[in-house]
Structure 1
């Protein structure tokens, strides 16, 4: 029987080559898309999941006047104190944020310094996190102020070996004011791609806390480090959270509440609104998972529609089998076998396509995905195959096996209202989803365009920056004076940290006359040099910027418009702003600029004139001089700081990096929308082709009776344009709601305009129209003799 089924399937595929190819291409494309998304989703879902489930990250809610902000930074001594005072905590670990040490420099054996990402980590780091140590004891590798643990790769680059415990390494970075000599106490295996933060070396956290106990990180009001805890068995998270909620207020720190969340969830659920999880990367995981499912369903719909549309060609086969006593179950099995075999062929093709497309897909997504034929993948692939085969073959199998023997033998099948409704509904679903994808692509594109073209409050074009280190550390004025002499440099200044997303903040350690102390305000801060505002093209709305002509500017302060508004000050110039016990006079108000992404509103910020604190040189280059200036900067750096390579960044690239997730979504959505339209168009093409073929005789008679080519084209077009129009009526409001919901994640966003939806709808309709028109035109131009002879 199985051999008989295979023979029938082969004959059917051979007889209907067009439909077979359309179905094979559609299913292959759908499965390829689904497999690529599966690999991406599987990778996202696996980030940080290899650690112990009992690890929790401590985060805190800042209760401000304008709402609750959730931040990961905590007091520097929180981990140490919680481990001592809270019995539910088994182990507590503190680490610095990754950007503190960022791309540091490490060297040894008098070799040139190399770049490496580092973090400060407390003594029990390797007891909490599951990073394998190749050399060293996890209980003591990070104890003391002079210990460092490095990765296998860094060890081999610096020493050509991993047997290096006790040897010395030098590391430096903008956070630390000098080169730091440390003793290597261990080597860990390189962190893989399944971790959210990858580092090359770990420095003992005791360096931050200081040997004398007077470090600022021992103050409860000093925030920044991340805190992780391992809870004892049988400790309920909800009970633990209730206990630690007001822990900081017990330490004299008001307006903050603590909570713990599973560390494994922090990567995917990283967005909060008013203290509650509101999304994050998980949104895109869910979105692309749905897109994969829907694209696969669209491909299955093509098989359903084409199979049921060609039912008349197979009706005699069904009739004969039923007359000879074939049970319905046998017929269902035959047609499901047909869809399963086609699906298996599509799976084989899709695996080849995935292997070919993965390099490009990795480039778009920024990942390192590859096909690994392990047990989990085979189970997922088998599930995908069975789902596709059964779904695509289910309706045709039920429909064909349910045909009446007499009607089937005569080959005169009349579609029931339910069958017509089902087929039309499937077409509506296909094009509704395709139209929604087109709308989404356009909205994402317009928002990215809005972000790129909007004025962030500073000029990001032709601005490069670099850090002063090594021989140039603490020589910021010398560096600026020398860089100004370079031909093609428009202006130069410096700042203590990266301009975008790396500003420090303070909460509550300031005051001014008339302040309402019931209001809780958070200020970002930046220490700057003279000409920073001018170099960056920022604008003053009142007062003046810092100037080297005024020696007293070290006791002055500049506040942005958002800060002045939050303070409720009118005529702020000359007013006193008390900061950390010092009286600072407001000399200027700078217009708001986006030091964070457009996802968040511009918040209060102040600038202090602290040249000695600055270590990032901001260079504004005249148009057309970028190459020559960069060469001159590298030459200057090589002459004055030969031990370090010259590393620089473009501010424009930093700005674009803030929207890397949205940019990737835009690119992927564009491909997915194109694929959905292609598969839907293939199905419509096949349906139109078969419908025209079935009505050849009718077309010939109509033309003999005087019908023009246009009459024939119109007759065939109207049957297919109706469901497409219905699909657009369904898709436009759904597309609007989805687009509005996505745009709400931006504090500053483009307006949703009517033409966005009209253009998207017209494009979907136009593609469908052209697809059907091609077949209708061919049918209208058929030879009359051939149309009359048609069966």
Structure 2
């Protein structure tokens, strides 16, 4: 029976080639998009889920209450892991690490050339808590020796050109002016692509404690990361209550609340607003999942519309089948077989499209996706085929199998070929989604353009930066003086870290009876950094050696002064983190975070232990100046390569997620419109065929080509106009909420909706006109003769 169904289905698809081709194009495109997005979603959901302790692995988070609300972060005191392991029997293992962003380019050498690697300092149990398999060394002991180091296979090959026989060999590394020698105690395979933390080597946290002469005071804000493996059966809520009580007794009166968060949830659920979890990358996962569903629905609607539009051609077949005893159930199965066969062929075409498009898709998304044949993929694809086949063919199957055979065979079809309202409704739904996609593309494109052109409040153009290493940290004043003398260099200075991002710190301040803690972004800078970055002063002055040593002075931004509520601040002395500091200036607000955030409080302090050099260069002589800098640096710091970056590139990198959304939205919107137009083209073709006799009579009676075109086009234009009326408020609401995620954003102007409306009307006219003009210019004699 199944073979018979498939045979008839195949013959029908071959006989109706236009119907088959239009549906294959629409379905294969929709299925290709669905498979691509499914691969991306699966990869996103797999991030950090590969650890053996996944179900019991948690990161310690903290809510800190201050005057501006509740600030949530993963920054914890440096030795919290030791306290929790000793005092909490529910804790199986605990480790503290330095934040992954602290040491992204550490110079390492075996005595020859220097290489760079991203590093972590981590507690002794790190390789037991996290699953990064070792190829040599014992995971229980590799970090016991404070003079040890664990290398990735890739870094080991760069340093020793081998991963075998290197245990016990020396590696020299440097952080600022600190130079150390460590012995290789282990080699791990490396961090997989679906790990949110990427690093090349691990050093014992005991070494970091020694370097920093670290205090064991739990009232410190960190900012270190603490991870726990809880024993099975432990109630997380009960442990959170116990953890908060423990921290309260060690926080010197500060309002701090610790809680656990599943480590695997950090990547997708990383955003908090005033102490409440508020999404994160999961928003994009949901967004693109919805897009895949909608595009697939649009493709299925094409199948439904084209199938019901062709109902007249199959009425007699259905009547005869029913007359000779075919039940409605067998007819439904026949139509579902046709639908499933078509979807199966479309899936094969879709897989070819996916393989062809995957390299470009990976480039846009920054992923390393591949179509690996496995049981899960096969079952998923078969499931998509089954669901799509039933969704696309279900309505036509029940619709076509419901006609009474007597009425069909008597030729009473005019009242039977209904479904026009259903078809029109589906067309309206299709184009409503297409309009929403187009509006979204225009809004996202304009917002990204606005972000790229918006002035951040500091001069990020023509500023390069590089890490200090070699002998530079110990001779910073002389080095900067030499750099400033290079032709083409406008200014140069140094600072700790970078301008963008960076951790905040809860700093306690006191002034005239006020006593509060505010989260500040610290800027530890050398002389001339404010001038190098082109940050404007609202009042007061910058740091300057002309006024003597400014190490006891401080500069705030406007947001900090507003948060503290100090009037006429310049010249006043406040108590800041236990020391008296005189305010010598107030800097104008500038965006040191992305435009998603309002400008937060910050302060500048003079510091000469810097990690980064910033150089402002003359735009007219950019290449020549960089060449001179490279020549000077390699001679001044032999053995260390001159690796630099442009500051404006970092600024743009903050919006990589939005840029990817913009690019993918363009493609998806284009595909949604294309699929909708394919369906519209098919419906126009069948409508013209259905009205062939009417058109012939009208032409004989003197109707012009334009009148015939209007006759065939108006019902489709009416459907598109209804879609526009429905889609405009919906798209405004969606994009209004998306833009609300930015502190600064474009207005939702009327022109966006006008452009979208005009585009959709022109697309409709263009799509329908091809079939309408063909019908209008056909010889009416042939039409009437055929009747």
Q: Which residue number in structure 1 is paired with residue 469 of structure 2?
A: 469
> Contact 2:96–2:205 (CA<8 Å) still a contact in 1?
yes
Q: Which residue number in structure 2 is paired with residue 223 of structure 1?
A: 222
Shift of the alpha carbon at 1:245? 2.4
Is the counterpart of residue 584 in structure 1 residue 590 in structure 2? no
Give the whole-Å Cα distance in 2 for the aligned partners of 1:711 and 1:648.
Answer: 67
Q: Which residue number in structure 2 is paired with residue 487 of structure 1?
A: 487
Secondary structure in structure 1 of the residue aligned to 2:625: helix
Instruction: Name the count of aligned residue pairs.
Output: 783
Shift of the alpha carbon at 1:121? 0.7
> Structure 2: any 5+ residue segments left out of the alignment?
none
Q: Deviations over 1:381-416 (max 9, x none)?
A: 111111111111111111111122133335552366
Q: 2:565 aligns with which of 568, 578, 584?
A: 568
Give the whole-Å Cα distance in 2 for the aligned partners of 1:730 and 1:417.
Answer: 28
Q: Deviations over 1:586-621 (max 9, x none)?
A: 1111100111111111111111122x2223111112
Give the direction of change, closer, same or farther, for the CA distance of 1:272–1:506 in structure 2 (3 Å limit): closer
Give the whole-Å Cα distance in 1 for the aligned partners of 2:750 and 2:279.
Answer: 28
Shift of the alpha carbon at 1:787? 2.8
> Contact 2:191–2:198 (CA<8 Å) still a contact in 1?
yes
Shift of the alpha carbon at 1:144? 3.0
Shift of the alpha carbon at 1:247? 3.0
Q: Which residue number in structure 2 is paired with residue 105 of structure 1?
A: 107
Is the counterpart of residue 533 in structure 1 residue 535 in structure 2? no
Secondary structure in structure 1 of the residue aligned to 2:448: helix
> Contact 2:75–2:221 (CA<8 Å) still a contact in 1?
no
Give the whole-Å Cα distance in 1 for the aligned partners of 2:172 and 2:786.
Answer: 86
User: Stretches of 4+ moved more than 4 A in 1?
Assistant: 216-219, 415-418
Give the whole-Å Cα distance in 1 for the aligned partners of 2:588 and 2:763.
Answer: 48
TM-score of the aligned structures, taking structure 2 as reference length = 0.97
Q: Which residue number in structure 1 is paired with residue 681 of structure 2?
A: 685
Secondary structure in structure 2 of the residue aligned to 1:552: coil
Q: Deviations over 1:230-286 (max 9, x none)?
A: 111211111111221243221034121111011111111001111111100111001
Give the whole-Å Cα distance in 2 for the aligned partners of 1:738 and 1:669.
Answer: 14
> Contact 1:315–1:411 (CA<8 Å) still a contact in 2?
no
Secondary structure in structure 2 of the residue aligned to 1:140: coil
Q: Which residue number in structure 2 is paired with residue 357 of structure 1?
A: 357
Q: 1:161 aligns with which of 163, 172, 176?
A: 163
Worse-superposed segment, 691-700 or 408-417: 408-417
Shift of the alpha carbon at 1:124? 0.6
> Contact 1:513–1:576 (CA<8 Å) still a contact in 2?
no
Give the whole-Å Cα distance in 2 for the aligned partners of 1:380 and 1:623.
Answer: 54
> Contact 1:696–1:790 (CA<8 Å) still a contact in 2?
no
TM-score of the aligned structures, taking structure 1 as reference length = 0.96
Q: Which residue number in structure 1 is paired with residue 16 of structure 2?
A: 16
Give the whole-Å Cα distance in 1 for the aligned partners of 2:43 and 2:274.
Answer: 29
> Structure 1: any 5+ residue segments left out of the alignment?
none
> Contact 1:29–1:675 (CA<8 Å) still a contact in 2?
yes
Shift of the alpha carbon at 1:214? 4.4
> Contact 1:209–1:217 (CA<8 Å) still a contact in 2?
no
Q: 1:68 aligns with which of 67, 70, 85?
A: 70
Q: Which residue number in structure 1 is paired with residue 152 of structure 2?
A: 151
Shift of the alpha carbon at 1:676? 0.4
Give the whole-Å Cα distance in 2 for the aligned partners of 1:411 and 1:286.
Answer: 50
Give the whole-Å Cα distance in 1 for the aligned partners of 2:209 and 2:757.
Answer: 61
- What is the RMSD of the two structures over their aligned residues, measured on CA atoms? 1.8
Q: Deviations over 1:328-370 (max 9, x none)?
A: 1221111111111111111111111111111100000001000
Give the direction of change, closer, same or farther, for the CA distance of 1:583–1:687 in structure 2 (3 Å limit): same
Give the direction of change, closer, same or farther, for the CA distance of 1:417–1:547 in structure 2 (3 Å limit): farther
Q: Which residue number in structure 2 is paired with residue 745 of structure 1?
A: 741
Give the whole-Å Cα distance in 2 for the aligned partners of 1:373 and 1:66.
Answer: 52
Give the direction of change, closer, same or farther, for the CA distance of 1:694–1:640 in structure 2 (3 Å limit): same
Secondary structure in structure 1 of the residue aligned to 2:391: helix
Q: Which residue number in structure 1 is paired with residue 39 of structure 2?
A: 39
Give the whole-Å Cα distance in 1 for the aligned partners of 2:3 and 2:242.
Answer: 69
Is the counterpart of residue 406 in structure 1 residue 406 in structure 2? yes
Q: Which residue number in structure 2 is paired with residue 290 of structure 1?
A: 290
Give 1:97-246 correspondences, 5 Å limit. 97-108=99-110, 110-159=111-160, 160-174=162-176, 177-210=177-210, 214-216=213-215, 218=217, 220-246=219-245
Q: Which residue number in structure 1 is paired with residue 755 of structure 2?
A: 759
> Contact 1:685–1:775 (CA<8 Å) still a contact in 2?
yes
Q: Deviations over 1:65-110 (max 9, x none)?
A: 11111111111111111111122212111111111111222221x2
Secondary structure in structure 2 of the residue aligned to 1:210: helix
Secondary structure in structure 1 of the residue aligned to 2:102: helix
Is the counterpart of residue 553 in structure 1 residue 555 in structure 2? no
Shift of the alpha carbon at 1:753? 2.1
Secondary structure in structure 1 of the residue aligned to 2:710: helix
Give the whole-Å Cα distance in 2 for the aligned partners of 1:384 and 1:625.
Answer: 57
Shift of the alpha carbon at 1:650? 0.7
Secondary structure in structure 1 of the residue aligned to 2:113: coil
Give 1:646-665 correspondences, 5 Å limit. 646-665=642-661
Shift of the alpha carbon at 1:506? 3.1
